[in-house]
Amino acid sequence: MTPVGGVVDEPATSPEQGARDPDRPARSRLGGARLAAYLLTVYVLVTINFFLPRALPGDPIDALLDPSQPAYLQNERLRAEITAYYGLDRPIGVQYVDYLADLARGDLGTSIRYNVPVADLLAERLPWTLLLVGAGLTAAVIVGLSAGVHSGWRRGGRDDRRLLALFLGVSNFPAFFLASIALFVFAVQLGWVPLAGARTPFASGQSWFTQVADVAHHLALPAAVMAVSVAADYFLVMRAGMVGELGADHLLGGRVKGLRERRLKYRYAARNALLPAVSLVAARVGTAVSGLTIFIETVFAYPGIGRLVFDAVSFRDYPVLQACFLVLALLTVTANLGADLAYTRLDPRVRA
């Protein structure tokens, strides 16, 4: 239709302009700032990883000179040669620059205790730690969040009181204590699980199904202890979020529309209550990798990075400690980045 005066109204924007996203530059700047923040965080962590082992009393050479250590070294001339070989006789600033240069080349150094490349040690130990943490945290997320949704939805009921007492009681026990008790009861007294290790020695010639079952048999108790140690936090945060959603307007509107109780519980209340739990999941990944694994792998003699860190501290093995701390820090940063991305999927307001 031609308006009065014979002038045809033109669209405010052309198709090319309409296809453009006006918020794209702002989102690009935000994404660049977030990436820069993570890179800065990684640099700070790398620096801390270098100086933290050197803050420990003694050094690797002192550990070699300790008569109580199995790698006791008495020859002073050989001691000086080893010190020079690993660059420990140079100023700390020079060592730091060399460390950054080696990292840029992908060189993690050589273990002072084992005399093998640190990358080989990590390639051998890291899969076991990832398997343990993945199984333990997956079980903790499923149990903790599910119980939190049910408990919060029935606040003040019998199930809520029982679950709250159970998770609060479990959360007060340290992971080291839980691991020790579980090992004594289920491995020593009942004999249901192996005492130590990640698989039975000399079992590599068996069928793949038998090997998988053997690994799962060794993994069950350590993963269960990790899940029990972490699930209480997920439960409490999820329950609090559900309680906060009970009087929300969108739930009242859903009931007026006649929506089923199950849909209101999971699609309306639980999805909104899940937001703080996502951040906690990412935070607990870092805690589980850097803290719980050391205790659990030490108690169960599980051949992961936590056990490697425990042994490296005794020998002041700087290259191993630096590499292990770096891997643990990167896993933590990656988990937090994943939480940020999950937020944008769960909460449209974050995308806006």
Among 12-16, 41-45, 96-100, 138-142, where is mean pLDDT lowest? 12-16
**DSSP letters spanning 234-282:** HHHHHHHHHHHHTT-HHHHHHHHTT--HHHIIIIIIIHHHHHHHHHHHH
- pLDDT of 90 higher than 70: yes
pLDDT for 298 beyond 60: yes
CA distance 234 to 143: 9
In this predicted structure, the answer to whether residue 312 has a pLDDT above a threshold of 80 is: yes
Q: Which of 223-237, 241-255, 282-296 has the highest mean pLDDT?
A: 223-237
Domains in the chain, start-ordered, CATH in brackets? 28-57+108-351 (1.10.3720.10)
56-69: pLDDT as tens digits: 666 666 656 555 55
Greater model confidence, 273 or 219:
219
238-279 pLDDT tens trace: 888 888 777 777 777 777 777 777 777 777 777 777 777 777
Q: What is the mean pLDDT of the chain?
A: 77
pLDDT value for 308: 87
Percent of the chain scoring above 70 in pLDDT: 78
Alpha helices in the chain (DSSP H): 15-19, 24-54, 60-64, 76-85, 92-104, 118-153, 158-171, 175-182, 208-245, 249-256, 261-263, 271-287, 293-299, 305-315, 318-346, 348-351
The residue-averaged pLDDT of 320-348 equals 76
Q: What pLDDT is stored for residue 139 in this prediction?
A: 92
| Cα 168 to Cα 8: distance, rounded to the nearest angstrom | 71
* pLDDT greater at residue 127 or residue 27: 127
Mean pLDDT of 12-32: 54
Residue 8 has pLDDT above 70, yes or no: no
- Say yes or no to pLDDT of 133 above 50: yes
Whether the per-residue pLDDT at 311 is higher than 60: the answer is yes
Lowest-pLDDT range, 5-9, 126-130, 299-303, 313-317?
5-9
pLDDT at 72: 56
Residue type, 275: L
Judge whether residue 71 has pLDDT over 80.
Answer: no
Banded model confidence at residue 325, pLDDT cuts 50, 70, 90: confident
The pLDDT score that the predictor gives to residue 221 is: 92
Looking at residues 315-330, what average pLDDT do you find? 83
